[in-house]
Each structure stands twice: as C-alpha cells, then as structure tokens.
Structure 1
C-alpha cells in the first residue's frame, strides 16, 4: 500500500527532522504514529501525501512515487491535517464541490456521519467551532473511501463524547480494507483502536510492531509479580506498573502509554525481546 524507503528530511537552515526512515503500511490496519512534539510526525505525513519532498529516499503509494503527485495517487489518499482552514460554504455545498475529486466517494456515508456528529448540511462551516469543523473533515475523509487515510492529531478539539464517536467510526473502517494512519502524541485516545504502533524519537523509527506481536511477547502489570531480570521498564507514577518479558505469564492488555514510555527509555531492551521472538531466536 504505502512504502517509505530510507527517508531523510530537514527544513532549510534547520537540523534533521527525519533520518533513514523506512516503513511499510498495509491494507486493513489502523496504525498509531506516536512521538513527542516536534519529532517529525506531521512532516512525515506531509511527505506521505506529496506536500513535502524528502531530501533523499522515496515514498510510494500503490507503487507510484508521491513526489510526482499523479492524479491517480492523489485519488487514493486523504489527509485530515492538524491545522486547517475550510471555505466559507455550507457543509452540503462543500461536499458537492469537493466530492467529485474522489471517484469512490459515498454521499450516503458522509451524510450518515454528519448525523452521527449532530451536524446539518445547511450549516455554514465558518460558524462552526474548531471541533465541529474537524468532524466535517473526518466525515468527509471517511466518505472518500480512499485506500489510504491519514489523520494528524484528529482528537484535538474533540470533547469526550466526540472522541468515543471517533473511535467507533475508525473501528468500522477496518472492515473496509483501508490503511489508516493516525498521528498523535495523545496515546490514550487511541486505546483499543489501533493494531500497529510506530514510534519516532530523535528523528528515527525506534518502534514498529503490531499489537499482536507486542501482546505475545511483552507483559504489562505490577513489577513485584515478576522476576527482576524480566523487567524492561517501570514507572512509579503508574503505581509501579511495568513492561516486562512475558515469559510464561498469561497475556495482558497492552498499555499504550507504558509501551510508549518504555520504547523511548529502553528501546534496545524492548527491541531485543520482540526481535528475538519474531525471528525465532
């Protein structure tokens, strides 16, 4: 679906933002792209959509180079950016103008999602709150039916009920065979939604594993219940909960926030466990 190969990027007169980034995103998955603020998540998404060009390396969607920004490539992706401006139109007129750019666009799904979000087609977009505008974009992005959907900090501006609606809508999208990449630093908002985690730190990919692989090989719980040598990361602010080698313990639910902190603080330890098991060592 989407392939990134040895990407390097830096802004003019600035330090490197992305260094030797190689990733593969496949259909039927929801990816969580995590990282601290300023770690290049938004930059990476702009490269994925052809809005920025890497200094070296390449980005391909369905085998086509995004740097060429071909019509067929752009028809297969949609980006919901973190910051955006929408035209001063009604929601219904916005749909009529922009939906023809996406051949698989589903008007039925768009207006169904508007109803779910308690928005009316006759409402003027300019009069909506930031959170409501974001709902319009999310609904439109879902309705495009593109193979690739990218969302940059999609839960920013959404209240708690709206975040629940968002997770419900995203979960339904997996059945459509799409590849969805959600970039955020708010790890908790994606709990029980994503099935693959990618983490950026210091310009590089420090973690790239499916949650099934994580749950098979790592154990999340109280550090006191495991042998000291099994502990990979622990944090007192979580009530001494820790990330550990699973060994012969029963499978536990993946704690995304603990996993994120563990990947940043002990990347070699986490990777050694996952790689050894993955390669059958």
Structure 2
C-alpha cells in the first residue's frame, strides 16, 4: 500500500511543485500517472524511491518511509527511469551484479523476456539502442519481483510492436501483491492497460478514478454536430464529425478513450470534480 499525505516539495524556496499532495494506491493494480510535461510525474516517482526528500508531509510504502533508504524497503522498489546509463556488461553479467539486491529475483523470468522483447543475450548493454536498453530495464524490473515497480515514460523509444508487447508482458506480470505505476504523457500508448487513472496537474492529484467509474459516469459519442441542449464537457473535431464527452445521463456505459479523458479533465476540471464528487456521495 502506498500512502502519501500532505506532501510538499520544492526544488527552490520560491517554486513549490507539490502543495499538500495526497495519494493512496492499493496493491494489485497498474496505475497510470498522467500529466503534462513538467507536471511533476518524475519527481513524484523519485520521492517514492527515496531519491528525493519532501519538504513536509509523509510518504509510506507498506508502512516504511522510502526516505530512510532501508535495505528492506529498497529491495521492494524498482524504478525504470526515462534517462539512464547502462554499463559495458552482457545481460548475464548485469544480472549477476545487480540481482542480489532483490531477494526474489527470477533469472529464468529475465531470460524468458529477452526473446519477447527481441533482445540479444550476449551483446554488451552499452552497445544497444535506446529502445533496446529501455526494454532490457523493463525486463529486469519485472524479474526482480519487487512489490513496487515504477516506470517513467516506459514507451519512449519503443516501436509500435514493442509497445504492444510491453502492454502484454506488463499485464501478465501483475499479481495481487505488486503495484505498477506508469508515468507518461503519451496516454494513447497505454491502451487498456492502466487502472486506476491518476492525473497530476499544478502540484495536485486532480483525478483518481477507476476505469469502471469513468465508463459509468462519462459518455463518449461521435455525432455530426455538437449538441446545444446538453452539457458537453469536451469536444474534438474528427473529419466531418465531433467526438463528444458528456455526463452519462442514460446509464448506458461507453468505453472512454484515455486521451479524451485526459483532455476533458485538464480543460474542465471543476465540472469533472463536481460530477465525480456528486456521484460518489450519491453512491455512499
């Protein structure tokens, strides 16, 4: 379980990034942490790993503060960063060096992921392309069997087939005691993978809902024109038609596109907050 309460963080005294940020994430989920560039997604992941320290507030991962940098905490956290360095080692040499930090590391699982990601076994990691290096780190992270896997822009540098394979492998690797958090601004790459959906904007978590809740409370339709006599939360021109996002008034669920949802929340935050708060209170 991840619990963040009243988190405050700033890189400089006069520039606060997070102001009283709160977040709770249960295990057994692949969370999508969405936000515009510069929203603080990478910073939040680094705070969860204990690489950055909050000004105030609390961060707890299974009851432990990652800032304490205790081995029993860090062995359960693995992060695939967007920017990284890989040494001049082969896959097996790298695993021999770094696997001991993770007691449940599964070398057979790592080796099984190599052909799935079309990765060479004997080449030096430093000689691989950026996308290949990224796929190796993802494979290694999954093989650690750590309870918390953080992936910062994991699809950057991946081609279309690799993105599809990434989604399949990640989904098949999830267990009830693991939590995957994917930070990205490339929301279309996530497909049907992420649930719940978390949106970070202006130092706050402004949206945190399950896919089921989104599909129940919002409706997406393709219409020849924008309706004049109903609430339209977001619209987008598509050739000679419009994609319309509106409150779900008839109870018929539709499948929400993640990019449409993101744009709707960012551009119409107050109405979205009101809609979901009202519905939650009604259900309670």
Structure 1 residue 225 displacement after superposition: 8.3
Cα distance in 2 between the residues matched to 1:200 and 1:192: 20
Q: Residue by residue, what CA displacement relative to the aligned partner does 1:1-57 show, whole Å, maximum 9, x if unpaired? A: 111111111113551111211001111111110111011000000001000000111
Q: 3-state DSSP class of the match of 2:233? A: strand
1:230 aligns with 2:220: no
Cα distance in 2 between the residues matched to 1:237 and 1:30: 30
Structure 1 residue 121 displacement after superposition: 2.4
Structure 1 residue 173 displacement after superposition: 2.0
Instruction: Tell me the equivalent position of 2:114.
Output: 114
Structure 1 residue 126 displacement after superposition: 1.0
Cα distance in 1 between the residues matched to 2:103 and 2:228: 57
Where in structure 1 are there 5+ consecutive unaligned residues?
none
Counterparts in 2 of 1:85-104, with a 5 A limit? Answer: 85-104=85-104
Instruction: Tell me the equivalent position of 2:204.
Output: 204
Q: Residue by residue, what CA displacement relative to the aligned partner does 1:100-143 show, whole Å, maximum 9, x if unpaired? A: 11011111110000121122321101110010001110000000
Cα distance in 2 between the residues matched to 1:167 and 1:128: 22
Counterparts in 2 of 1:1-281, with a 5 A limit? Answer: 1-12=1-12, 15-175=15-175, 177-222=177-222, 228-236=229-237, 239-280=241-282
What is the RMSD computed on CA atoms of the aligned residues?
A: 1.6
Structure 1 residue 144 displacement after superposition: 0.5
Structure 1 residues 43 and 237: alpha-carbon distance in aligned structure 2, compared to 1, 3 A threshold? farther
Structure 1 residue 230 displacement after superposition: 3.2
Q: Residue by residue, what CA displacement relative to the aligned partner does 1:126-172 show, whole Å, maximum 9, x if unpaired? A: 11001000111000000011111000000001011100110101111
Cα distance in 2 between the residues matched to 1:91 and 1:108: 12
Where in structure 2 are there 5+ consecutive unaligned residues?
none
Structure 1 residue 271 displacement after superposition: 1.5
Count residues in correspondence.
Answer: 281
Cα distance in 2 between the residues matched to 1:118 and 1:155: 15
Q: 3-state DSSP class of the match of 1:236? A: strand
Q: Residue by residue, what CA displacement relative to the aligned partner does 1:48-92 show, whole Å, maximum 9, x if unpaired? A: 100000011111100011111111110111000010001111111
Cα distance in 2 between the residues matched to 1:22 and 1:252: 29
Cα distance in 1 between the residues matched to 2:280 and 2:174: 25
Contact between 2:231 and 2:246, CA under 8 Å: does it hold in 1? yes
